[in-house]
Amino acid sequence: MIDIQHLSFRYSKKKAVFSDFNLQLHENCIYGLLGKNGTGKSTLLYLISGLLRPEEGEVECSVANGDRYRSIDRRPELLEQLYMVPEEFEFPLATLDVYVRQNAPFYPNFSREVLDQCLHEFELSADDKLFALSMGQRKKALISFALATRTRYLLMDEPTNGLDIPSKSQFRKVIAQNMTDDRTIIISTHQVHDVESLLDHILILSDKSTLQLDESVASLTERYAFTTCQVSGDTVTALYSEPSPQGLSVITPRTPDEPETQLNLELLFNAVTKGALR
Amino acid sequence: MTSNFSLSRFWRLLRWQMPGNIMLLSFMGVWVALFMSFHLIDVGMSDLNEEALREGVRKSVSSYWTIGANMICIAVCAMFSLLGNKQTAHGYLMLPSTMQEKFVVSVLLFTVGNLILLFVGFIVSDVLCSCLYYMLYPAVFVSGLPDFVQHLLLRDYYVEGHFELLAILDDLCPLVWWHSLCVLSAVVIRRNAVLFAIVPLVLLFPLMWLRDDYATEMAGGLYDSWTLPVSVLLSVLAAVHYVAAYKLFPLRTIVGHKYLAIL
């Protein structure tokens, strides 16, 4: 579990990004971290990784044997159980195979089998020269490596940025294949359609970097119906609606006898950030 | 909980860091070797008798050591260049090893690694220049290697059957002090750490020059009475710098103050 308690953070003398922020993230769950630009999504991932020092409060992560470590201490026992795929990164001037040989020994649960499976899925080879790959291919290589580390915590910052259309479904496939009971995956993204079907839990950060929504997808689809209708008269009971090419996309309260609908993440996000849903 | 230092993680980290820094280290080695080659070639072209040639080579080796030692200190300022931008800093800081291990590996890599490259650079330039001298003066074989080894074994300080401790301290302590200052600068200063390390040296240079001047004039008086306290002071300062750098390094994060890396 990742336990964030009374977290406060600011960059230099700028206004606080987080102030008395609390959050708990549990195992066996894929979290979608959403928010407008500048709300602190990447900052939150950096704070969880221990790459930034909180002004107050702390982030603690538990490892397999039950021990808890403060992220900012950057203990190897935690770092070998925590991997972050940043939005921008640099690879060395080497082949993917060399990169793997240099980095894999740091991760005790590293699986070459998982790596090969992910690379195969993404149509990459371990012999590929990293410096000769496109940005999207490099991202796929890093995602493959990240999944192969089989760390307990996997944080991803805009993982689908730069991926082509087939790669986005390949991404969903490899994530789903490599999700395990003891794993926690946090995906921060603006590309909501790319990950919509993957997520178990939605976190939405407000402009003030507080949590505007912290709810499971199961609970959301149980409470709300996400539909499209043609006539504006149908929107009487709608909690939120917005025009779409098919007519109107609406969120309505769902009654127990109605069938569950699929979550429309973009619609949910707009509804939450405009204050229509709480 | 395991300790702050594990030998297996240390070796793993060293193997990880070496390829990434080899270009930076090689650049220094090549630079110093080039200087040595030019110097030796100049000696070979200008001195036409064997004794003058040997004396020229001996002086060149001495300058090579002085310049090499200072270059090592300057190179140390760049040992945390990986933390210079977010992309590379992320990969480095997230590596499963302690910050103490990262610190020790970097200091050793940039100090011992540079020393090895300094040696390799010297051998290359010495072989090249020995060949050149042989072409110019076929009857004479001149190599700087014996002088180089003599410097390495501190033989210059071995007088009348014993080592001149004060003379060793006088040469070594300022160098260790400057090395420690460079290590501290590399930890604390985000960009241009070398400038921060050079400024105190530039400010102290007139003092050192005056001291050397007086020392020569007073032949033994000031030299003997000042060497020990100054050496002790520099050693204490060096120890403070090393400890401060070691303690402050874990405070480094991925984003920091524009100039001070630990804020």
pLDDT at B44: 66
CA-nearest residue to B2 within chain A is A77
Q: How many CB atoms lie within 10 A of CB B247?
A: 12
H/E segment holding residue A154 = strand A153-157
Where residue B1 falls among pLDDT bands split at 50, 70, 90? very low
In this complex, do A88 and B86 lie within 8 Å of one another by their Cβ atoms? yes
Q: How many CB atoms lie within 10 A of CB A266?
A: 16
Where residue B157 falls among pLDDT bands split at 50, 70, 90? confident
Q: What is the DSSP string of B85-108?
A: SHHHHHHHHTSSS-HHHHHHHHHH
Give the mean pLDDT of B145-170: 77
Q: How far apart are CA A71 and CA A53, in angstroms?
A: 9
Q: Whole-prediction pTM value?
A: 0.89
What pLDDT, in 10s, does the model give residues B234-252? 999 999 999 999 999 999 9
Give the mean pLDDT of B58-83: 86
Collapsed DSSP state (helix, strand, coil) of residue A249:
strand
In this complex, do A83 and B94 lie within 8 Å of one another by their Cβ atoms? yes
CA distance A126 to chain B (A): 18
pLDDT at B2: 58
Minimal Cβ distance to A79: which of B15, B96, B250: B96
Q: How far is CA A264 from CA A165, A221, A268, A277, in A?
A: 19, 9, 6, 14
| Whether B119 contacts B146, CB under 8 Å | no
pLDDT above 60 (res B83): yes
Q: How far apart are CA A163 and CA A133, in angstroms?
A: 13
What are A184's strand-pairing partners?
A29, A153
Task: Walk me through the domains of chain A, giving residue ranges and CATH numbers.
Answer: 2-12+24-209 (3.40.50.300), 219-273 (no CATH)
Question: Which positions in chain B have a beta carbon within 8 angstroms of at least one beta carbon in chain A?
Answer: 1-2, 6, 9, 12, 15-16, 19-20, 85-91, 93-99, 250-251, 253-255, 257, 263
pLDDT at A233: 57
Chain A residues lying within 8 Å of B91, measured CB to CB: 89-90
Predicted-complex ipTM score:
0.90
In this complex, do B96 and A49 lie within 8 Å of one another by their Cβ atoms? no
User: Which residues does A208 contact at the CB level (< 8 Å), separation at least 6?
Assistant: none
* Ranges A58-67, B119-128, B162-171, B172-181: which has the least confidence: B162-171
Minimal Cβ distance to B19: which of A92, A106, A107: A92
pLDDT above 80 (res B159): no
CA distance A111 to chain B (A): 17
Minimal Cβ distance to A52: which of B16, B98, B254: B254
What pLDDT, in 10s, does the model give residues A197-230? 999 999 999 987 789 999 999 999 999 999 988 7
What pLDDT, in 10s, does the model give residues B31-49? 777 777 777 777 766 656 7
Helix ranges, B77-164 (H): 86-93, 99-136, 145-152
User: Which residues does B130 contact at the CB level (< 8 Å), separation at least 6?
Assistant: B141, B142, B143
What pLDDT, in 10s, does the model give residues A38-85? 999 999 999 999 999 999 999 999 998 889 999 999 999 999 999 999
Chain B residues lying within 8 Å of A75, measured CB to CB: 1, 98
Where residue B216 falls among pLDDT bands split at 50, 70, 90? low
pLDDT above 70 (res B59): yes
Give the mean pLDDT of A227-256: 82
Where residue B256 falls among pLDDT bands split at 50, 70, 90? confident
B171-205: b (≥16 Cβ within 10 Å) or e: bbbbbbbbbbbbbbbbbbbbeebbebbbeebeeee
pLDDT at A270: 94
Mean pLDDT, chain A, as a whole number? 93
User: Which residues does B248 contact at the CB level (< 8 Å), separation at least 6?
Assistant: B184, B187, B188, B262
What pLDDT, in 10s, does the model give residues A122-132? 999 999 999 99
Give the mean pLDDT of B132-136: 79
pLDDT above 60 (res B218): no
Q: How far is CA A79 from CA B61, B96, B98, in A?
A: 47, 5, 9
Question: Which positions in chain A have a beta carbon within 8 angstroms of at least one beta carbon in chain B?
Answer: 11-12, 46, 49-53, 67, 74-77, 79-80, 82-84, 86, 88-90, 92, 94, 102-103, 105-107
The better pLDDT of the pair B111, B257 is held by: B111
Minimal Cβ distance to B98: which of A76, A89, A94: A76
Mean pLDDT, chain B, as a whole number? 82
Minimal Cβ distance to B99: which of A53, A74, A82: A74
In this complex, do B19 and A76 lie within 8 Å of one another by their Cβ atoms? no
What pLDDT, in 10s, does the model give residues A125-178? 999 999 999 999 999 999 999 999 999 999 999 999 999 999 999 999 999 999
Name the maximum alpha-carbon separation found in chain B.
68
